[in-house]
Amino acid sequence: MSEAVAHDDHHDHKPTGIGRWLFSTNHKDIGTMYLVFSLIMFFVGGAMAMVIRAELFQPGLQFVDPQFFNSMTTVHALVMIFGALMPAGVGLANWMIPMMIGAPDMAMPRMNNMSFWILPFAFTLLLLTFFMPGGAPAGGWTMYPPLVLQLGDGFPFLIFAVHFLGVSSIMGAINIIATVFNMRAPGMTFMRLPLFVWTWIITAFLLIASMPVLAGAVTMLLTDKYFGTAFFNAAGGGDPVLFQHIFWFFGHPEVYILVLPSFGIISQVIPTFSRKPLFGYASMVYATASIAFLSFFVWAHHMFTVGMPLTGELFFMYATMSIAVPTGVKIFNWMATMWKGSMTFETPMLFSIGVLFMFSIGGFSGLMMGITPVDFQYHDTYFIVAHFHYVIVPGIIYGVFAGVYYWLPKWTGVMYDEKLGKLHFWLSTISVNVLFFPMHFIGLAGMPRRIPDYNTIFTGWNQIISIGGFAFGLSQLILVWVVIKCARGQGEKATDQVWESAHGLEWTLSSPPPFHSFTTPPQVTDATAHS
Amino acid sequence: MTVSKTKRVVLGAITLCLTLACGLAFAESMSWNLTEGVTPTSKKVYDLHMIILYIVTAIGIAVFAVMCWSIYFHRKSRGAIAEQFHHSTFAEITWTIIPIIILIVMAIPATKTLIFMEQTGDAEMTIKVTGYQWKWKYDYLEEDISFFSTLKEDSNEARQRYASTRPEDVENYLLDVDNYVVVPVDTKIRILTTASDVNHAWWVPDLGWKRDAIPGFINDNWTFIEKEGVYRGQCAELCGKDHGFMPIVVKAVSKEDYAAWVQEMKGNARVAAATPVEEIAVEELLMKGKRLYNSNCAACHMPEGEGVDGLFPALAGSAIANGEAEGFAHQILNGKNMMPPFKDQLSDTDIASVMTYVRNSWGNAADAVQPAAVNAAR
Amino acid sequence: MSDSHGAYYIPEPSRWPVVGSMALFTTFVGAGLFLNGVTPVVLYLGLAAVIYMFYGWFSDVIKESMGGNYNHQVDISFRWGMSWFIFSEVMFFAAFFGALFYARVYSVPWLAGEGAKFATHEFLWPDFQNVWPLITTPDMTTALTSHFTLIKEVIPAWGIPAINTAILLASGGTITFAHWALKKNNRKALVLWMAATVILGAIFLFLQAEEYIHAYHELDLKLTSGIYGSTFFMLTGFHGFHVFMGATMILIITLRCLKGHFTAEDHFAFEGVAWYWHFVDVVWLGLFIFVYWI
Ligand code: HEA
Ligand code: HEA
Ligand code: CUA
Ligand SMILES: [Cu+2]
């Protein structure tokens, strides 16, 4: 407390005009830009998914050529992962972390702005490839050589886009680490941090450890194509599978980078609407850390079929299975938090409960795929597509939705439209299951992934899936409507507290909060800390 | 919040549980499930799959039931008052230990099956499978038999964007090939997978495994088919544009039939080698050429010879295609960069036909090519 | 920002982040065009813009720092930032070391018929042998023409590489002496030791360049020499680039020392650069052992 000086009013002026956004050093403005960008990218990636689903609506080729179909699959995944989900997580972190730990802003506000502004440029780089000879990347988001090396002029742009995104993520992660370790208000000990902050510290470490590895991997692709190196070429003593090892050493931690912030959000939301403290706070922290730690030792479960030595297959099978234990601990803790609570079901709570159910479904199929001998059958079929869309769409995106509805009144000062929120939840939940559940069936029955056309026995399910997909896509328009209404200030005025039993520092600020969150650090005690 | 809305929450949750359970029942009854297959491996894998599926479904139902209970009974609208407990060492240890035990129970049969699958030794015959963009080549190592296997013509026609035939009218659409892999039943067969250009994966679900085919490396696998029949599969690793169009068909026959097939194949090879090279009428070359072009070249250079911008050059108007026959023949025989060599795959007559067809289609106008010219270029 | 002494310094809106993003964008577009065989001009423009951005951004930071805006807490933020940045660099090198280990432990032995994929050897590369450094690539054993360059000789560890090891270790010492001098407020010794460090870095780079020229012209050891050349040049090349960056930063710090920047207590920029230099040093030790020596 001693060092801080209470700020006078003139410090709270907002910069105006376009400069406010371009040159921003304010964590809330940057957070807003991240979230808006993420929403736009969700629609761009979603539009590509709609092309995929339209083409797969019936056998035969109706709308696109196979090469373009592969581009759709590839770019859909890249845009969704790097453009929609990761920025959504970072956007929420930007908005909430300083407010949750009682800081005035992020530790390095200028670098914060750069990590955002890289994104639109990086995606321009990526999407430009659609207009180049040879077209957009079509070798899958996993970019396996030698196939990816066959890409035309777009190839270096793909590689540089990945580098660029890596720079952004690493800067963002460093910023979050510095902020949490160094900017906590007096009394905000580590074991008093809200779980969202905890999950983000762990995510940030995952980012710093895994993104540079991806950068290294794609650099080797670049030199293999243009400078004659032999990393992924057996004729020169390399191995195409080497790329897969390096890629998945990044790729598996990456999926937890996506999911942990979402876990953090529902750990905030569930206690609030259960009116009960989070069950097993400490074990939640340890479980999250264990998941992150284990995630560096399971990568080869994505490549069981490449023909690894038996010992390797066994090791990665056991390691993969073991991740179910800490994840289970988290699920059980959330369950115990709801147990004997006094629950109400506002939209954020609905989405959080959606996560509990549907992430678990995705987790179960993940566990099945972790069993090596059966993964020989599942691998590269729609069973995998079902798995990861379950953990990602109703697992992570729902978490992000929960966070957005939960904090939207705080951000805008206006209550969102509860009726529309509920409608959004129910339409999404019905359609998302129609969309992704049957993928398990066609996968088991033998439909490979990444194909533009299929045998006629798969027609029926594919039509159901596509209809689910269109319905899910359209349902998302409700979210846009809700957000626009709030942003324009239409709706009931929100109180500072917003939710009856919400705990944490963010609720002590006004709604909307002042431009600089805590110019005077608050004193944190057990009573004012997380629930 | 009104009661009716809360009811919907509960109902929704219950529906989800039911969906899962029904899905399972449905999966079995409608055979929208993993195939049991026809090898010892596939049966073990199927059993393992069902065990895990039942275990996770049971866990799921238990977990979802508790959550549904809590959602229904611990609602504010039902007058529930929140308790304030937030810790229980006993509960936390229990729900760490129990999953560990369950996982160990699953790991034991999984380990056994995996070890069983890796026993590639003492095979009675060996087939080397090579993935190409976008076809498979099979070499029977002991028998000196070797052939390519590509998507069947009728499927290939129906899959085009403005095709006149509909997929529904094609039997085994996209799952049929011109040359089947014929193998004997009750024989331990070693299957080596590799590739010539990019990664592919050889997968026939009824055999119970799939394995990547990686250029420059060979993966060792085996199978033992117990039942005669035709088993279909597909390439299962993204390998570019026509990844969806390189199926696999294995035909398992009795040992006697297999021996007869081997004799026949060997005879064919001798006949082909001995056919004298003679002049062939241009119409015949054109007719044969069109068919061969569509099954061998159109995947890249497109049916109308327009190519794919930036990836595959157009043959309509191509200087090489319309130029000296020798250069064109070289291009086909030896390939170049991304274009595979065809010298092991097409005979001199085949290549001459393709060349003649290309040189007289889509506005190209050059003289016909005879097999002798191709033979000279070899 | 007169109102912020004591409190955590939040900079005013700044144009450098956007300028930086655009500069990097231009660089990447330029590099892409260049690799596609179009002009390198855009690439040069981009690089110039990146340098401009660094110059402008760091000028602001130095101004703020000299203006006393940064309290102890800001200093700690910088420390966290620099250390985890260095950690991310470590992971970047880990990818290349991983490739080296994989080639030596798995892919090359497999191609030569050892271990799980022995069939590879039997059917595809029957004459290939596992000898490290890998001079004869697999395709040289089966075909008359190879994609790769045949290496005449590799660079032995105990020549220039050993000398370079000594140089870098010594430079780690000189920068530490400089640090001690700074802490004792002995400005003259500070500048001298810093200059010595820069010079050692420059000698290292010079020898490295000599070695590369020798490798390319006399030994036929090239990027295109198969997996040995690939790992050799990528690892030593990225390391050399880091030495170059580090030496440039040390040079700038030296110039700032000459201008009288930094105090005995407050000199984070100095320390950050020193950490970076030690990191470059440690990576080199790894290189010396695994690339040149064993
Ligand atoms: C955020 C995303 C996310 C998350 C969280 C996960 C979580 C998990 N994933 Fe998934 N995965 C992906 C995203 C994700 N995955 C993606 C994108 C791919 C495909 C990539 C590509 O090829 O393009 C993939 C592919 C993938 C594969 C490769 C399949 C293949 O290609 O052949 C495997 C194999 O093991 C796997 C396993 C797992 C496991 C074991 C978990 C575990 O973390 C799940 C743990 C959760 C539970 C188990 C449920 C809750 C637990 C309990 C209720 C406790 C009790 C339970 C038991 C004791 C069983 N995943
Ligand atoms: C990371 C996040 C993420 C997200 C959010 C999604 C979301 C969706 N995904 Fe995606 N997907 C991946 C990650 C993701 N996916 C990955 C990693 C792969 C593997 C890629 C590979 O193989 O390399 C993949 C692959 C993949 C495939 C397999 C393709 C193939 O193998 O060939 C399919 C097929 O159905 C699919 C569908 C969908 C659908 C329908 C959605 C929906 O949830 C999308 C819903 C959103 C919208 C639709 C946008 C919003 C609404 C509008 C634009 C308004 C109206 C529009 C209309 C109705 C027309 N995805
Ligand atoms: Cu071959 Cu996919
Ligand atoms: Cu994984």
Phi, psi values for residue B228, rounded to 5°: -70, 150
Q: Which CATH code, of 1.10.287, 3.10.350, 1.20.120, 1.10.1740, is assigned to B3-117?
A: 1.10.287
Quick one: closest CA in B to A350, which residue? B9
Instruction: Give the 3-state secondary structure of residue B249.
Output: strand
Q: Which ligand has an atom closest to residue A355 CA?
A: 1
**pLDDT over 80 (residue B44):** yes
Q: Which fold has domain B125-154+170-274?
A: Immunoglobulin-like (2.60.40)
Q: C115, A238: Cβ pair inside 8 Å? A: no
In the block, residue with structure tokens 């070798």: A139
What is the structure's pLDDT at A531? 46
How would residue B7 be classed by pLDDT, with cut points 50, 70 and 90?
A: low
In the sheet with B125-132, reading across from the earlier edge strand, the strands are B145-149, B135-140, B125-132, B188-195, B219-224
Which domains are present in chain A? 2-7+27-508 (1.20.210.10)
Instruction: Give the 3-state secondary structure of residue A233.
Output: coil
- Best mutation site among A38, A41, A76 for ligand 2, i.e. most ligand atoms within 8 A of its Cβ? A76
Which domains are present in chain C? 1-69 (1.10.287.70), 71-293 (1.20.120.80)
Q: Tell the residue nearest (CA) to atom 3 of ligand 2.
A: A80
Q: Kind and range of the H or E element at A251?
A: helix A240-274
Q: How far apart are the CA of A97 and the nearest CA of chain B, in angstroms? A: 24
Q: List CB contacts (< 8 A) between B138 and chain C.
A: none
Q: How far apart are the CA of C261 and the nearest CA of chain B, in angstroms? A: 54
Three-state SS annotation for C198-244: HHHHHHHHHHHHHHHHHHHHHHCCCCCCHHHHHHHHHHHHHHHHHHH
Q: Are A184 and A103 in contact (CB under 8 A)?
A: yes
Give the span between the Cα atoms of B48 and B25, in whole angstroms: 17
Q: How many CB atoms lie within 10 A of CB C16?
A: 24
Q: Could you say which residues from 195 to 254 on chain B have a Cβ atom under 8 Å away from some Cβ of chain C?
A: 216-220
DSSP state of B195: E
Q: Using only the alpha carbons of chain C, give its radius of gyration.
A: 23
Give the span between the Cα atoms of B14 and A129, in whole angstroms: 46
- Residue among B126, B137, B218 with most chain C CBs within 10 A, to mutate: B218
The DSSP code sequence of A148-198 is GGG--TTHHHHHHHHHHHHHHHHHHHHHHHHHHHH-PPTT--GGGS-HHHH
Q: Are A158 and A137 in contact (CB under 8 A)?
A: yes
Domain spans, chain B: 3-117, 125-154+170-274, 282-377
What is the structure's pLDDT at C63? 87
Q: How many residues does chain A have?
A: 531
Q: C123, B128: Cβ pair inside 8 Å? A: yes
Q: How far apart are the CA of B25 and the nearest CA of chain A, in angstroms? A: 12
Bond preceding residue A448 cis, omega within 30 of 0:
no
Say if ligand 2 is within 6 A of residue A476 CB: yes
Q: Kind and range of the H or E element at A482?
A: helix A459-487
- A300 to chain B, any CB pair closer than 8 A? The answer is no
Phi, psi values for residue B185, rounded to 5°: -80, 170
Say if ligand 3 is within 6 A of residue B131 CB: yes
* Mean pLDDT, chain A, whole residue set: 91
**pLDDT over 90 (residue A292):** yes
Measuring CA to CA, which residue among C61, A332, A461, C292 is closest to residue B70?
A332
Chain segment B164-200, per-residue pLDDT in tens: 888 888 889 999 998 999 999 999 999 999 999 999 9
Please enumerate in sequence order all residues whose Cβ is within 8 A of that of C74, keeping only pairs 6 or more positions apart, or say none.
C8, C9
**For residues A466-482, average pLDDT:** 95
Give the span between the Cα atoms of A114 and A348, in whole angstroms: 31
Say if ligand 2 is within 6 A of residue A76 CB: yes
For chain A, percent of residues with pLDDT exceeding 90 = 78
Q: Which two tokens stand for residue B343?
A: 């010298």
Bond preceding residue A411 cis, omega within 30 of 0:
no
List Cα–Cα distances, C110 to A307, B222, C123, C129, C213, in angstroms. Answer: 12, 19, 12, 10, 33
- Residue among C124, C128, C139, C145 with most chain B CBs within 10 A, to mutate: C124
- Residue among A147, A382, A463, A526 with most chain B CBs within 10 A, to mutate: A147
Residue in B57, B95, B212 closest to A307 by CB: B212
- C17 to chain A, any CB pair closer than 8 A? The answer is yes
Measuring CA to CA, which residue among A441, A444, A425, A437 is closest to residue A467?
A437
Chain segment A301-337, per-residue pLDDT in tens: 999 999 899 999 999 999 999 999 999 999 999 999 9
What is the structure's pLDDT at C281? 93
Q: Which ligand has an atom closest to residue A369 CA?
A: 1
Please enumerate in sequence order all residues whose Cβ is within 8 A of that of A388, keeping only pairs 6 or more positions apart, or say none.
A255, A362
Residue type, position C42, single letter = V
Instruction: Give the 3-state secondary structure of residue A486.
Output: helix
Q: Could you say which residues from 91 to 110 on chain C have a Cβ atom under 8 Å away from some Cβ of chain B?
A: 110
Q: How far apart are the CA of B2 and the nearest CA of chain A, in angstroms? A: 10
Q: Could you say which residues from 35 to 64 on chain C have a Cβ atom under 8 Å away from some Cβ of chain A?
A: 35-36, 57
Q: Is C81 exposed, middle or buried (0-12, 13-18, 19+ CB in 10 A)?
A: buried
Please enumerate in sequence order all residues whose Cβ is within 8 A of that of B320, keeping only pairs 6 or more positions apart, or say none.
B327, B328, B331
Residue B239 CA: nearest ligand 3 atom is 2
**pLDDT over 50 (residue C1):** no
Q: B52, A329: Cβ pair inside 8 Å? A: no
- Residue among B54, B59, B67, B190 with most chain A CBs within 10 A, to mutate: B67
Q: Which chains would you list as touching B if contact means 3+ CB atom pairs under 8 Å?
A: A, C
Q: Which two tokens stand for residue B246?
A: 């390189």
The DSSP code sequence of B270-327 is HHHHHPPP----HHHHHHHHHHHHHHHTHHHH-TTS--BTTTB--STT-HHHHS-HHH
Say if ligand 2 is within 6 A of residue A442 CB: no
Give the span between the Cα atoms of B355 and B208, in whole angstroms: 42
In the block, residue with structure tokens 């720092």: C65
Q: Which chains would you list as touching A if contact means 3+ CB atom pairs under 8 Å?
A: B, C
Q: B194, C124: Cβ pair inside 8 Å? A: yes
Q: B214, A339: Cβ pair inside 8 Å? A: no
Chain segment A27-42, per-residue pLDDT in tens: 999 999 999 999 999 9
Q: Which two tokens stand for residue B169?
A: 């009218």
Measuring CA to CA, which residue among B241, B204, B311, B152 is closest to residue A61?
B241
Give the span between the Cα atoms of A421 and A469, in whole angstroms: 20
Residue B29 or B210, more confident:
B210
Q: A363: CA distance to ligand 1 center in Å?
A: 5
What is the structure's pLDDT at B16? 58
Helices A27-55 and A459-487: crossing angle in degrees, nearest 10, is: 160
Considering A253-262, B313-322, C111-120, C122-131, the range whose residues carry the highest mean pLDDT is A253-262
Chain segment B196-235, per-residue pLDDT in tens: 999 999 999 999 999 999 999 999 999 999 999 999 999 9
Measuring CA to CA, which residue among A171, B330, B345, B272 is closest to residue C80?
A171
**Alpha-carbon torsion C21, C23, C26, C30, what sign?**
negative
Q: B9, A147: Cβ pair inside 8 Å? A: no
What is the structure's pLDDT at A88? 95
Least confident of A164-173, A260-269, C122-131, C141-150: C141-150
Q: B216, C117: Cβ pair inside 8 Å? A: no
**pLDDT over 90 (residue A378):** yes
CA torsion A92-A95-A96-A99 (nearest 10°) is 180
Q: How many CB atoms lie within 10 A of CB B309?
A: 14
Say if ligand 2 is within 6 A of residue A410 CB: no
Q: Is C145 exposed, middle or buried (0-12, 13-18, 19+ CB in 10 A)?
A: exposed
What is the structure's pLDDT at B14? 59
**Alpha-carbon torsion A185, A190, A194, A196, what sign?**
positive
Give the span between the Cα atoms of A411 and A399, in whole angstroms: 17
Q: A449: CA distance to ligand 3 center in Å?
A: 11
The two domains B3-117 and B282-377 share their CATH topology (first three levels equal): no
Chain segment B242-292, per-residue pLDDT in tens: 999 999 999 999 999 999 999 888 877 665 555 556 677 888 888 888 888
Q: B13: CA distance to ligand 4 center in Å?
A: 28
The residues of A that are catalytic are: 76, 105, 141, 168-169, 252, 254, 256, 267, 301-302, 327, 330, 449
Q: Where are the alpha helices (DSSP H) in A4-61?
A: 17-22, 27-55
Q: Are B159 and B167 in contact (CB under 8 A)?
A: yes
Q: How far apart are the CA of B278 and the nearest CA of chain A, in angstroms? A: 39
Q: B216, C138: Cβ pair inside 8 Å? A: yes
Q: List CB contacts (< 8 A) between B194 and chain C.
A: 120, 123-124
In the block, residue with structure tokens 């431009």: A515
Residue in A283, A452, A461 closest to B244 by CB: A452
Say if ligand 3 is within 6 A of residue B210 CB: no
Q: A23, C139: Cβ pair inside 8 Å? A: no
Residues within a 6 A CB radius of ligand 1: A 142, 255, 258-259, 301-302, 320, 323-324, 327-328, 331, 360, 363-364, 366-367, 369-370, 375, 378-379, 384, 387-388, 391-392, 396; B 56, 59, 63, 99, 102-103
Q: A105, C103: Cβ pair inside 8 Å? A: no
How would residue A9 be classed by pLDDT, with cut points 50, 70 and 90?
A: very low
Q: Which CATH code, of 1.10.287.110, 3.40.50.300, 1.10.760.10, 1.20.990.10, is assigned to B282-377?
A: 1.10.760.10
What is the structure's pLDDT at B1? 43
Residue in C111, C117, C138 closest to B219 by CB: C117
Q: How far apart are the CA of B206 and the nearest CA of chain A, in angstroms? A: 10
Say if ligand 3 is within 6 A of residue B243 CB: yes
